[in-house]
Structure formats: C-alpha cells, structure tokens
Structure 1
Amino acid sequence: MSTTVTIKGQVTIPKSVRDHLGIVPGSRVDFRRTADGHIVIEPATPAPSSRFAQLRGHAGEGMATEEIMALTRGEP
C-alpha cells in the first residue's frame, strides 16, 4: 500500500490499516523506529481517564446529582 504526503506532511492511513489497528477519527497513533530502521505505526496508549470519563455518554439514571457534583469536584 502507498499513499501521498501532502504539503503539510499529512497522509491518509488506508482504510484496511485503520480497521486492522482499530483507528477511528480522533484516535492517536505512535510512530516508532525498530532496530533495523523500519517505522512502525500503532495505536497510542490511551491517556489516563479523567474524573469526567465516567459521565461521558451517560444520559440515563444512575448517579445522583450530589454524586456527580462530588465527582466533578474531585471529592472521594
């Protein structure tokens, strides 16, 4: 597979590679050089989740208002 580098140094990762690596819009990737000089692309290690991560996509019953407020304040 090959792709073209834009004037900004950007490339499009082929769909089959994105699918294989589980890369979706917004994903971060790492590039590393192997001992023999090859470059490997791999999904970046996810950043530690924030205290707000538990709330993402949550719209139903579950946490009470006071629990949510304590979470956003960083209280135990």
Structure 2
Amino acid sequence: MTTATLTTKGQITIPKEIRERLMLHTGDKLDFTLTESGDVLLKPVTRHVDEVFGRLGKSGQAPLTPAEMDAAIQRRMAETGA
C-alpha cells in the first residue's frame, strides 16, 4: 500500500509509482468516486492522443487533426463513464 499526507490546504502529492502506473502528467484531471462501502476510486479523466494512436482510424475515413482526436476521445470517455 502506498500512502500520502494531506496538507493543511487539503492537498496531497500522488506518489510517483501511482503517477507512473496511471500515466499521469502535469495538468491531467482526476475523477474521485466514493463507493457505497466508503472506498475512494481514483481514475484519470484526461487521455492524450499518443496513448490511443491508431485506434480511431476507419477505412475510408479522412485523417483527423490532434484536436479532433482529443475531442473524440473525450466524447467516448464521457459516453462510457471512463
């Protein structure tokens, strides 16, 4: 188990091994979900095009700009609750 300390301002530093495992980077957004049992789930909200390169293409589809790809990723994540 990895622990972090809450500051007087209500902030924590996410330990390096957790940041690396979740592929978190400066500016990424995180979703905190409180379960019925009282556990807290932490999920990254932000995804970068580099992480999903090649997964959005379809035969005959015109290439998308990085901004269009990011928007498509965000829409899909919102639809699936990821």
Q: CA deviation at 1:2?
A: 1.1
Distance (whole Å) between structure 2 residues aligned to residue 36 and residue 45 of structure 1: 26
Distance (whole Å) between structure 1 residues aligned to residue 5 and residue 46 of structure 2: 27
Distance (whole Å) between structure 1 residues aligned to residue 42 and residue 7 of structure 2: 18
- 2:25 corresponds to which residue? 24
Task: Give the aligned length.
Answer: 50
Matched, 1:13 2:27: no
Q: How does 1:53-64 map to 2 (within 5 A)?
A: 53=67
Distance (whole Å) between structure 1 residues aligned to residue 3 and residue 22 of structure 2: 17
Distance (whole Å) between structure 2 residues aligned to residue 18 and residue 4 of structure 1: 16
Seq. identity, %: 38
Runs of 4+ off more than 2 Å: 51-54
CA-atom RMSD, angstroms?
2.1
Deviations 1:25-67 (A, max 9, x none): 1100000012321001110155xxxx9926xxxxxxxxxxxxx
Considering fraction of residues, name the structure with more helix: 2
- 1:33 corresponds to which residue? 34
Length-normalised TM-score, structure 1: 0.56
Instruction: List gaps (5 residues or longer) in structure 2.
Output: 48-64, 69-82
